[in-house]
Amino acid sequence: MKTFKNPKLLLFTPLLILNVISLFNMINAKFISIVYEKAFIKQLIWFLLGYLIIFILSKIKLKKLFKYASYLYFFTIFLLILVLFLGEDINGAKCWLSIFGFTFQPSELVKLTLSLYLIEIVCNFKIKNIKDEFILIIKLFITTIIPCILVFLEPDTGAIINYLIILLVVLFYAKLNKWWYIFFFSIGFILLTAFFVMYFFFQDFLIDIIGTSFFYRMDRLINFANGNSYQLENALITIGASSFFGTGFNKILLYIPEAPTDFFFAFSIGNFGVFSAILIVLSFFTINLFLIFRLNKINNKKFKMFMLCYLGIFIFHQLYNISMNVGLLPIMGIPLPFLSYGGTNTLINYIFLGIILKLLNEKKSC
């Protein structure tokens, strides 16, 4: 990093490359569905808004952002409750709210507010003994479980994983007694083992406990390799049949449902070949390196936790989405950051980056 006069180029250069790749693919998105007829224009607007957000955040003080973290958190919890009653039902899921013609996904916003609030809880909590540690753990778990339950009802399994990643990061930096971590690992292992024992040997009993809907949701995830879905089959065919530079503009190799969103990686390979996949992987790798190097230079506990929360989510989305596109992991609604079509996810990623870039210049400790 020291060899670069402006290390932020290691962030913005690959970020712009990802933006261009996304926009090129949005030109072809209109062939997937009429829903994506204006995908290019919308995605361009979201990218421009994202850079505007980074600029605005660079000019304001962010102390109040952590100070009012609790209010922001409870506001997003209210939005999650609201979406269960007034949300738009798309493909069997109520995940989106529409206000004055603008549609957004509250579960994405929770990633930001949950990170801020959990970090603020840890930084403001005074630990003197084992009882205080227990109280802190309970508070962190309850704060995380509330949005997990609400999002589960939508349902949005991918969002729950994001929240758990944030919780794990905060617990790691809470500096609890090592026996707590051993205890959590043991409990998790026992529960997971019990689940699989009941799944394979006592399915009727398991259905009575967790319900039919949740059981079949888990069943699809566990048995994803035994029967590929139509979209995964088409994604794999697209990847296998693509040339180095793909089919180009205004033509798609094969129809893939949800191609501009969940299956963007396969869609891009079909449109612009293996070359686009190489650019995507290298761009993500460079951004990851930038964030990791900057993370190691931060001594501020609060800022380090926030940056690590985003880094965990960011890398998880990359690895899971690409693995899902090539059939290595079950299909879930995990978008590819700065590439997949969608305003809420895109803007939340830019907000995270804007806050991180601003915090890198802050010196106040936790």
For 258-285, how does the pLDDT look when each residue is reduced to its tens digit (9 = 90+)? 889 999 999 999 999 999 999 999 999 9
User: Using CA atoms, how far apart are residues 15 and 51, in angstroms rounded to an integer?
Assistant: 11
User: C-alpha angle with apex 163: 161 to 165, nearest 5 degrees?
Assistant: 70
Q: Which band of pLDDT confidence, cut at 50, 70 and 90, is reported for residue 364? A: very low
| Mean pLDDT across 335-345 | 92
Q: What is the pLDDT of residue 178?
A: 79
Lowest mean pLDDT segment, chosen from 90-104, 129-143, 344-358: 90-104
User: Using CA atoms, how far apart are residues 235 and 310, in angstroms rounded to an integer?
Assistant: 28
Residue 59 has pLDDT above 90, yes or no: no
Residue 225 has pLDDT above 60, yes or no: no
Q: What is the pLDDT of residue 91?
A: 64
CA 191 to chain centre: 25
Q: Which band of pLDDT confidence, cut at 50, 70 and 90, is reported for residue 5? A: low
Q: Which band of pLDDT confidence, cut at 50, 70 and 90, is reported for residue 54? A: very high
Buried b (16+ CB within 10 A) or exposed e, 214-240: ebeebeeeeebeeeeeebbebbbebbe
Locate all alpha helices (DSSP H) within the chain, ordered by sequence. 9-29, 39-59, 63-67, 69-86, 106-124, 130-152, 157-173, 178-201, 203-210, 212-222, 230-241, 264-296, 301-325, 343-359
Direct distance between the N- and C-terminal alpha carbons of the chain, in angstroms, rounded to an integer: 26
Residue 87 has pLDDT above 60, yes or no: yes
Q: What is the pLDDT of residue 311?
A: 93
Residue 366 has pLDDT above 50, yes or no: no
AA identity, residue 253: L
Residue 202 has pLDDT above 80, yes or no: no
76 versus 9: the higher-pLDDT residue is 76
Q: Are strands 102-104 and 93-99 parallel, antiparallel or unpaired?
A: antiparallel
Q: What is the pLDDT of residue 196?
A: 80
For 112-166, how does the pLDDT look when each residue is reduced to its tens digit (9 = 90+)? 999 999 999 998 888 778 888 888 899 999 999 999 999 888 778 788 899 999 9
| CB of 352 closer than 8 Å to CB of 290 | no
For 227-257, how does the pLDDT look when each residue is reduced to its tens digit (9 = 90+)? 557 788 888 888 888 888 888 888 888 888 8
Average confidence score pLDDT of the chain: 85
Residue 1 has pLDDT above 60, yes or no: no
User: C-alpha angle with apex 348: 320 to 144, nearest 5 degrees?
Assistant: 70
Record the pTM: 0.87
